[in-house]
Structure 1
């Protein structure tokens, strides 16, 4: 014997029928908190914040970054040969 029962109801009606708690207020609170935390973390990784944190660590770090980029682009060899002349 096979019996099929179809019930047409909303999720809220199903939760109420089975006696499950309404978790909507808790979900809203958790999502609001998560959104606030994400916004704080996004501000921490903004380009301005990253550059400020990197360059306040070591005063000569800006010069080292410049030298690294010059070397990576291949301009370092031409600059060093110009200094020798």
Structure 2
């Protein structure tokens, strides 16, 4: 026998139902700091250091970020202003 249950709820409702903490303030602070850093200008080395400090994801995670920013850099470098 197989029983399926569909639950229609928002992410906020699911978080509360499961008893997970509300990380909205932490997320907002993180995004604000990231925006401020980018607006002030950031070098690739500074960005890598910042990511290592903020996101303890290990080497695999850093490689993902490095690849993403390399692709963005190449795409941004090919446009002319």
Tell me the TM-score normalised to structure 1 length: 0.48
Greater share of helix: 1
Determine which structure has greater relative contact order: mean sequence separation of CA pairs < 8 Å that are 6+ residues apart, divided by chain length: 2
Tell me the TM-score normalised to structure 2 length: 0.50
Whichever of the two has the greater Rg, that structure is 1
